[in-house]
Amino acid sequence: MASLIPPATEAEARAIQQALRTQVDTTGPGPQRPATVAGLDVAYAKDERTLAAAVVLLDFATHEVLAESTATGVPAFDYIPGLFAFRELPTLLTALSRLPATPDLLVVDGHGLAHPHRFGLACHLGVLTGLPVFGVGKTRLIGTAAEPGPDRGAHSDLVDEGELVGRVLRTRPGVKPVYVSVGHRIDLDTACAHTLALTPSYRLPETTRAADQACRRALAAG
């Protein structure tokens, strides 16, 4: 796993991002039948001086929670658009290192290639860990797309500057879609199929829901 030392300046962060971006593997197809999947999320205190990261390991088929780990810390970098991952990665990776087993797949509450620099949190995390990762965002960060049909599974391409960067996917009938994008070692079709498998009852994946609850509990516990 790569060093967790955060960059000291914006220029250094951009240089790191540019260097790591060349290591992203989008050839896929990625794990077709993972046994386990982990969701990752971060919660911030009201003053944003403290954060809590959670990683929750689920059985992919049943969505049963098998284990969870958390870590608390402080934002490791200033808020700069396009470099947000640097704020959270040290604490997220600490939480991931405390998990008792290595997941077959990671799902982040955020974006991968659907990022201004084509290197969102899902990409960054994938390159640092070597694990297959994709992102499921609640909102669009970049790009344009047609509104997908109203039925579950309807989708449309998310395109930015002529490049396919993700997919707008309807996980529940008549409910706002989510934004799926590749992070590392998985392709878009597989990421979307897994997103649907992880959303049997709600708009967001069970991984995201479990990790959101876990990081909020960790933050409240101090």
DSSP string for residues in 156-186: EEEEETTEEEEEEE--STTS--EEEEEEES-
Adjacent-strand bridge partners of 70: 54
Return the CATH number at 61: 3.30.2170.10
The mean pLDDT of the chain is: 95
CA 197 to mean position of chain CA atoms: 16
Q: How many domains does the chain have?
A: 1
Could you tell me which residues are annotated as the binding site for Mg(2+)? Answer: 41, 109
**214 backbone dihedrals φ, ψ, rounded to 5°:** -65, -40
Burial class (CB in 10 A: 0-12, 13-18, 19+), 183: buried
* Helix intervals (H) in the chain: 10-21, 85-97, 121-129, 188-197, 206-221
Would you say residue 23 lies in a domain? Answer: no
Nearest to 160 by CA among 89, 110, 111: 111
Adjacent-strand bridge partners of 108: 40, 135
Q: What is the pLDDT of residue 181?
A: 98
Q: Are 198 and 191 in contact (CB under 8 A)?
A: no
Could you tell me which residues are annotated as the binding site? Answer: 41, 109
Would you say residue 2 lies in a domain? Answer: no
Q: Averaged over 11-24, what is the pLDDT?
A: 95
Quick one: pLDDT band at residue 4, thresholds 50, 70, 90? Answer: low
Q: Averaged over 7-18, what is the pLDDT?
A: 94
Would you say residue 3 lies in a domain? Answer: no
Would you say residue 21 lies in a domain? Answer: no
Q: What is the pLDDT of residue 25?
A: 96
Would you say residue 94 lies in a domain? Answer: yes
Quick one: pLDDT band at residue 14, thresholds 50, 70, 90? Answer: very high
Q: Averaged over 63-72, what is the pLDDT?
A: 98
Q: Residue 90 is encoded by which pair of tokens? A: 């040290």
Quick one: pLDDT band at residue 222, thresholds 50, 70, 90? Answer: confident
Amino acid at 180: V
Would you say residue 12 lies in a domain? Answer: no
Q: Residue 4 is encoded by which pair of tokens? A: 């967790």
**64 backbone dihedrals φ, ψ, rounded to 5°:** -65, 135
Q: How far apart are CA 169 and CA 191, in angstroms?
A: 11
Q: How far apart are CA 44 and CA 24, in angstroms?
A: 28
Please state whether the peptide bond connecting residue 100 to the residue before it is cis, i.e. omega within 30 degrees of 0.
no
Q: How far apart are CA 111 and CA 130, in angstroms?
A: 17
Q: Is the pLDDT of residue 2 over 80?
A: no
Would you say residue 20 lies in a domain? Answer: no
Task: Give residue-wise pLDDT tens across range 170-216.
Answer: 999 999 999 999 999 999 999 999 999 999 999 999 999 999 999 99
Contacts of 145 (CB under 8 A, 6+ apart): 156, 157, 158, 159, 168
Domain that residue 216 falls in: 34-221
* Report field, pTM of the whole predicted structure over 0.85: yes
Would you say residue 205 lies in a domain? Answer: yes
Q: Is the pLDDT of residue 3 over 60?
A: no
Quick one: pLDDT band at residue 34, thresholds 50, 70, 90? Answer: very high
Amino acid at 128: L
